[in-house]
Amino acid sequence: MGKIKLLQGNEACAEGALYAGCTFFGGYPITPSTEVAEFMARRLPQIGGAFLQMEDEIAAMAAVIGGSLAGSKALTATSGPGFSLKQENMGFAMLTEIPCVIVNVMRGGPSTGVPTGPGQSDIMQCKWGTHGDHPVICLTPAYVQEIFTETVRAFNLSEKYRTPVIIAFDEIVGHMRERIEIPDPGVLPVVNRTKPTCPPSEYLPYDDSKGDVPPMANFFEGYRYHVTGLNHGTDGFPVNASPRIHTDELRLIRKVEGNKKDIVKFEEYQLADAEVAIFAYGVSGRSAKTAVEAARKEGIKAGLFRPLTIWPFPEEQVAALSKRVKAIIVPELSLGQIIFEVDRCSKGRCGIEGIYRVDGDPITPAQILAKVKEVK
């Protein structure tokens, strides 16, 4: 039995990071994610970890990558505007395969938008925000307990696949307080990056001959190697025109898309016999669960598919679902983004109905229930 606490979502994220072995935070104040930085500012010095508030989100993202390269598990947290600024350096970490975790506590967008209101309109940016083809893992917790466990999972996936992992939850989930059980150390698995076993002279930082994820040496451990944002060979040095670039890009994508069984995670709630399904995550997922219960009371066979991994997208599961139900309803705090993916995977096999809301308030169970009744 772990420690029972009443924690804010943002604090649970900080605690989850510490549980996962995070000893480095680089951040910059921005509503509604600042509390993650504030908790890390208090907790990291207590455990000898490094806390840095940098001059902007670009520097924060850079510091996190530097900290990780020097051997620390590193976290940053931000919201829309900061998330936009971090894109280039996130892409750098994706290509150089340096593990790190980026929290995006989503608020109303675009631009300054609704800083204190929830939003889910960054979800495509999580996938396509930085330029070029790149691997993306993005997790979407909806409960304070889940923020804790998904943050631990984010670090594990980041270390295991040597790639940045994004955790995206909206302002409501980030700011709300809920009962949480913090497991004792050792209860949840904690994964560390695979270290090279060969002598430094033989080390190839991006050698893919033994698998898609090359072992990673930290700086200052005798493996003096080169890291560059230029496409590079197995030895880490720039290559600008060679088949290597093509095969390497495919490998980077395959690290994620080829391991969906390990990465994709979701909750199916009363979905087995459902005639109408709801696809929703984050705060919209919470409203959807209540709507399912209300619908069931009225004899309507509704069910919820709630992804905890939004990227890579749960294509198989949504495709299978689309064969079993009359319609999939997609409530999201945007003018329709993740609905494109649901539609793409359903291939017209069932109705696709969106519920959009961008006025700074969450979609209510009543709104979802009304749509369920409409389509059944």
Partner 1 sequence: MAFNYDQYIRGGKLPHIWCPGCTYGIVFKSLLRVVDTLKLNRDDIALVSGIGCASRLPGYVDFNTLHTTHGRALGFATGIKMAKPDKHVLVVSGDGDATAIGGNHFIHACRRNIDITVLVFNNYIYGMTGGQYSPTTPLGHMATTMPYGNIDPSFNIPELAKGAGASFVARGTAYHAAGLDRLIVEAIQHKGLSVVEIINACPTTHGRRNKFKSPTDQLLWMKDTFLPAVAFEKLPPEKTAGKLPMGVLYKKEGLPEYCETYYGLVERLKKQKEGRAQER
Instruction: Name all contacts of 319-325 with Cβ < 8 Å and 24+ positions apart.
Output: 319/345, 319/346, 319/347, 321/271, 321/277, 321/279, 321/346, 322/346, 322/347, 322/349, 322/350, 323/349, 323/350, 324/274, 324/277, 325/274, 325/275, 325/276, 325/277, 325/350
Rounded least distance, CB 68 to partner 1, Å: 8
- Give Cβ neighbours of residue 203 (< 8 Å, ≥ 6 apart): 196, 217, 223, 225
Residue 58 touching partner 1 (CB under 8 A): yes
Instruction: Give the closest residue to 303 by CA, choosing from 320, 321, 316.
Output: 321
CA distances from 40 to 33, 255, 261, 293 (A): 12, 30, 32, 38
* Chosen residue from 17, 40, 65, 288 binding partner 1 by CB under 8 A: 65
Positive or negative torsion for Cα 173, 178, 179, 180: positive
Rounded least distance, CB 163 to partner 1, Å: 17
- Cβ contact 283:173 at 8 Å: yes
Exposed, middle or buried, 275 (CB in 10 Å: 0-12/13-18/19+)? Answer: middle
Exposed, middle or buried, 243 (CB in 10 Å: 0-12/13-18/19+)? Answer: exposed
* Chosen residue from 29, 112, 237, 366 binding partner 1 by CB under 8 A: 237
Residue 326: how many other CB atoms lie within 10 Å:
13
Rounded least distance, CB 237 to partner 1, Å: 6
Residue 262 touching partner 1 (CB under 8 A): no
Rounded least distance, CB 231 to partner 1, Å: 12
Give the binding range for partner 1 (CB under 8 A) out of 144-152, 159-167, 227-235, 265-273: 227-235
Residue 222 touching partner 1 (CB under 8 A): yes
* Residue 234 CB-half CA count within 13 A: 14
Residue 229 touching partner 1 (CB under 8 A): yes
Residue 6: how many other CB atoms lie within 10 Å:
10
Cα distance between the two ends of the chain? 43
Residue 26 touching partner 1 (CB under 8 A): yes
Give the binding range for partner 1 (CB under 8 A) out of 51-59, 108-116, 290-298, 318-326: 51-59
Residue 29 touching partner 1 (CB under 8 A): no
Kindly write out the interface string for residues 86-125 of this chain, putting x where it contacts partner 1 by CB under 8 A and - elsewhere.
--xx--x---------------------------------
Rounded least distance, CB 90 to partner 1, Å: 10
Instruction: Give the closest residue to 282 by CA, choosing from 352, 320, 334, 328.
Output: 334
Rounded least distance, CB 295 to partner 1, Å: 49
Q: Measure the CA–CA gap between 173 and 142, rounded to whole angstroms.
A: 6
Give the binding range for partner 1 (CB under 8 A) out of 52-60, 146-154, 252-260, 325-333: 52-60
Q: Measure the CA–CA gap between 121 and 358, rounded to whole angstroms.
A: 9
Residue 195 touching partner 1 (CB under 8 A): no
Residue 41 touching partner 1 (CB under 8 A): no
Closer of 26 and 365 to partner 1 (Cβ): 26
Rounded least distance, CB 130 to partner 1, Å: 11
Closer of 197 and 201 to partner 1 (Cβ): 201
Residue 340 touching partner 1 (CB under 8 A): no
Closer of 70 and 294 to partner 1 (Cβ): 70
Residue 56 touching partner 1 (CB under 8 A): yes
What single DSSP character describes residue 363?
P
Residue 154 touching partner 1 (CB under 8 A): no
Residue 71 touching partner 1 (CB under 8 A): yes
Interface residues toward partner 1, by CB under 8 A: 23-24, 26, 45-46, 48, 50-52, 54-56, 58-72, 74, 88-89, 92, 219-222, 224-230, 237-238
